Structure 1
């Protein structure tokens, strides 16, 4: 069946949680100039043309400056109609029925660069211009197209300023937040990108982002993240984009989620929902299971099992005497040399409870955070999406809130019309039930945005169905 036929078969709407637009750069550049002047617009030109600059660097220079091979030939070319669809709002609007999509929540492409621009003036100007672009260019199509704004998060003040402007002045409702900030390592040249550490806005952040999350609650905004793992860790190949790209969104999402979780943002703001996009749900299933396993063994009370003070040294010596070979017996009087390894008795008691800042006090707390406050964007062709719905393996029989996220506009989708049929394979192959598929394609994304803003879908073609879902 084609996309339109599958859509006709469904008894629920289809909401795309993460389609991508390709900004029309001449218009966007003019908005940058309007917001910040010609000199900043010239720096924007350099930002847009940075791929050509990177190509001109030799391998040694790329390594020295931590220049990872990033996306190239990343948008449709042979399929000209799809290329135009990603650029022209009216064409995407006209093709939605062909694609089997009722409403598309649209994420940026050029706007993604805002998350990794060290130049404060340029970063803020591009964010402001992008948000004007999304509001103005897509405003006439708001009954089916809902673009998100971009919120840079190098510090909470800039994030709050842009969030307030984009909501109150521009009327945007959904937002992409910068999730990972690569910050200069103290004692190193700030311009040296090879000496950066990763700030996930939560645990051990240089800033307190609670005022930002509090403002999100007040404005009815669910923070969403589209974080890349390219540029740090093991994804810094200067020559191979595919090697860097595989698993990178899962790694980026996991880093942000883990930072917010252990930093306690989720328990301090239980009314707030967080979404992690394009990385699928398999990483989240693993993180949930791993968090539960670690809590069971390393919560404050369970740590007593590993406290060096509880080691019975008399019994240990007796066991040595009864069972140790001569080479061990000859060194029995030096037993303390090995007993201190990974068992230091001088650990600071104030640092032992590594769950304190998270606000987590039980396994049920962990499961609640992951199943109630967290949402996960999944591309249609990923069979691992089924793991989110498999209560046989997820802790406590839980199911995670996975969402259909098409990624149309980028190379991941060579044909826009194949996205819904690929997602439908989850049902055809018996990996999810019809009810779970309805949550995947509609219910979960509706819950994400209405959990903070019940009127998020007001004025769209799915308004009635969303209200019915919430009433149930």
Structure 2
């Protein structure tokens, strides 16, 4: 391997040599060598599972209308069908060494030092492809894919660990696959889709999918599990806590309103991971998942960390206005009809002359011109959006947003400064930004660059050295070990850090 090594010229390796703590990369994308994967799956579950994988992968990568994907359609057909522009050229090719590195576990393992990393969590590109398979084969295919990755990387486990893909079509299958992945395969991190598309029943009943496939394609909504779901996903969150599994997701929003250009991939791409992850995280927060499961640790990857600070700030701002106490400022019953009438007599007498009204009629008219015109006033639990989350103070928001969530930020993302801005973030907190190189995707043309690019942010004054340490070590370490104190046992990280202590305040009796 020495003829390929650039260790001596790697800026990241040079920076790493001067650090007294390990580097934990939470987001590395590897390629599966397709012939080997398909052979494994065929032996595992027969040719039908291979066919399912191929169909699911093709469906995931291409937006189709009338059986033709974007690249098969003419500009006129794209306009007519509003076919969303699909990504293209998403893998590094000119850098052939890196192309091979993403595909060959032994080569990637040997280049860890060159990359400047001590430990990497791997997201093989096929890991969630089974989520798009048919319902009858989805679990079997997911199990086969997870088993393949567990076997492929097992001997490199001191520095590399692949995630387990978990289908989330319903809580039962999610629990079953999580248990199999952890107890049978020994996998330690779960990767889930941040939402599941489901049919709108009122439309599906009238226009069945088998008869009206084009209508079914659009007449859907996204279930984010925590809020307004058709299922109770608490058994899955409970199982993740019981097994000590940190949950991760790369959930995007390409195709959503504002991200549905039929011609421009970048228009659809910029910010889409942040928007998709935000929808997922808010559902867990407002649905009370982070309240009921304070030990649950969830990381949203590839979207940056600034949106985590943005939402946290606005949660605090809005709670001050929309808590039960704050809502009384807007309760129609609290409007003073006498005072309102006096003010109209003094400053709006012309209105009353043209439209003579009683005090009660005047108040009703004024309130009706605002956002209070409804068939009835909300009552009970309808009043408070923060009720299920159990928010009584802004400290509760901190505990159920900041403590529970971690935000994958790529190495050259300067917006990370917002995560560490404890002057702007309420209660002086810093958001849990975690080092997510995104190695293996088009935005990293050289895998030896990311750590050095992150250090550039220190030199440019975007973040401090303490923030850098939190980003590349402390926050990732906290994410994994708060879920599972033994996460790094037997790894290259174990000997470089103190034995983790369990925070007893987070233990559920």
Same fold (TM over 0.5): yes
Displacement, 1:229?
1.0
For residue 301 of structure 1, give the secondary structure of its aligned residue in structure 2: helix
For residue 467 of structure 1, give the secondary structure of its aligned residue in structure 2: coil
2:273 pairs with 1:249: yes
Structure 1's unaligned 5+ residue stretches are none
Aligned to 1:195: 219
Aligned to 1:383: 414
Aligned to 2:23: 14
Aligned to 1:322: 346
Displacement, 1:470?
4.7
Aligned to 1:221: 245
Provide the TM-score with structure 1 as the length reference.
0.94
Structure 2's unaligned 5+ residue stretches are 1-9, 63-67, 504-509
2:476 pairs with 1:445: yes
Taking a change above 3 Å as real, the CA distance of residues 211 and 42 of structure 1, as seen in their structure-2 partners, is: same
2:437 pairs with 1:420: no
The answer to whether the 8 A contact 2:191-2:248 is kept is: yes
Bigger shift: residues 43-52 or 138-147: 43-52
Aligned to 2:49: 40
For 1:233-312, list aligned pairs within 5 A: 233-312=257-336
The answer to whether the 8 A contact 1:23-1:108 is kept is: yes
Measured in 2, the distance between the counterparts of 1:386 and 1:380 equals 12
Aligned to 1:112: 128
Alignment RMSD: 2.1
Aligned to 2:103: 87
Displacement, 1:304?
1.0
Measured in 2, the distance between the counterparts of 1:267 and 1:286 equals 20
Task: Pick from 66, 69, 73 the counterpart of residue 89 of structure 2.
Answer: 73
Q: Deviations over 1:6-44 (max 9, x none)?
A: 001111111101111111122222233334321332232
Taking a change above 3 Å as real, the CA distance of residues 49 and 211 of structure 1, as seen in their structure-2 partners, is: closer
Q: Give the number of the structure whose alpha-carbon radius of gyration is greater.
A: 2
Measured in 2, the distance between the counterparts of 1:302 and 1:12 equals 46
Taking a change above 3 Å as real, the CA distance of residues 26 and 442 of structure 1, as seen in their structure-2 partners, is: same
Taking a change above 3 Å as real, the CA distance of residues 342 and 219 of structure 1, as seen in their structure-2 partners, is: same
The answer to whether the 8 A contact 2:12-2:449 is kept is: yes
Aligned to 2:7: none
Taking a change above 3 Å as real, the CA distance of residues 63 and 199 of structure 1, as seen in their structure-2 partners, is: farther
Q: Deviations over 1:116-137 (max 9, x none)?
A: x162134323321221121011
Q: Deviations over 1:378-417 (max 9, x none)?
A: 1001001121111010111111111000000000111111
The answer to whether the 8 A contact 1:66-1:193 is kept is: no
Measured in 1, the distance between the counterparts of 2:268 and 2:175 equals 32
Displacement, 1:197?
0.7
Displacement, 1:332?
5.0
Taking a change above 3 Å as real, the CA distance of residues 201 and 118 of structure 1, as seen in their structure-2 partners, is: farther
Bigger shift: residues 154-163 or 323-332: 323-332
Aligned to 1:360: 391
2:433 pairs with 1:402: yes
Measured in 2, the distance between the counterparts of 1:112 and 1:292 equals 34
Displacement, 1:66?
6.8
Q: Deviations over 1:426-462 (max 9, x none)?
A: 2111222222211110111111111121111111111
Measured in 2, the distance between the counterparts of 1:317 and 1:295 equals 32
The answer to whether the 8 A contact 1:202-1:262 is kept is: yes
Work out the number of aligned pairs and report it: 471
Measured in 1, the distance between the counterparts of 2:401 and 2:31 equals 32
The answer to whether the 8 A contact 2:23-2:117 is kept is: yes
The answer to whether the 8 A contact 2:226-2:287 is kept is: yes
Task: Pick from 348, 360, 378 the counterpart of residue 378 of structure 2.
Answer: 348
2:149 pairs with 1:137: no
Displacement, 1:114?
3.6
Measured in 1, the distance between the counterparts of 2:252 and 2:159 equals 28
Task: Pick from 131, 140, 147 the counterpart of residue 125 of structure 1.
Answer: 140
